Amino acid sequence: GYRTSVRTPTGETPYSLAYGMEAVLPIELEVPSLRVLLENQVSEADWLQSRYEELALLDERRLRALYHNQGYQRRIARAFNKRVKQRGLKIGDLVLKENRAPVFDPRGKFRPNWSGPYIVKNIASGGAAWLTDLDGIEFTAPVNMDQLKKYYA
């Protein structure tokens, strides 16, 4: 199940991060696994002591999962940044804007994918651009640079 499978970002199961131990599946009670057999042979006092030690180490496991997750996010970001191409857009360029409107269009799949051309008025450092149409009317909201492509007239 979801809570008992090791997640790649953390290297742990969500159940173990929440409760400090691995879940015992119902099938393991019918057909005992090695882990269940070993736990059955331990006295209750020893089991309580080991459980207390596991709970004491839970914060350390969560911290280790956090570091693992941060490394995973860096690897994913590096792989993404390797593939992404820089948009060579500058102020004054003519661009087309991608149509991502969720509005029903009777033309269906034959509706245009791009609208424009528009003029780039300003570019923010976060990857947003303010556009104007060819008549000089400004857009009220910025547009993400991922939704733009250069227009060659």
Query: By the 8 A CB rule, do 17 and 10 touch?
Result: yes
Residues 30, 79 within the same domain: yes
- Residue 57: domain span: 14-83
pLDDT value at 67 more than 80: yes
pLDDT of residue 1: 67
Percent of the chain with pLDDT over 90: 34
pLDDT of residue 141: 92
Mean pLDDT across the stretch 53-78? 91
Residues 76-114 have pLDDT tens digits of: 999 988 887 777 889 999 999 998 867 777 888 888 889
Residues 48, 100 within the same domain: no
pLDDT band of 149, cuts 50, 70, 90: very high
pLDDT band of 19, cuts 50, 70, 90: confident
Q: Around Cβ 16, how many Cβ atoms within 10 Å?
A: 20
CA-closest candidate to residue 7, choices 69, 58, 56: 69
Residues 74, 29 within the same domain: yes
Residues 25, 64 within the same domain: yes
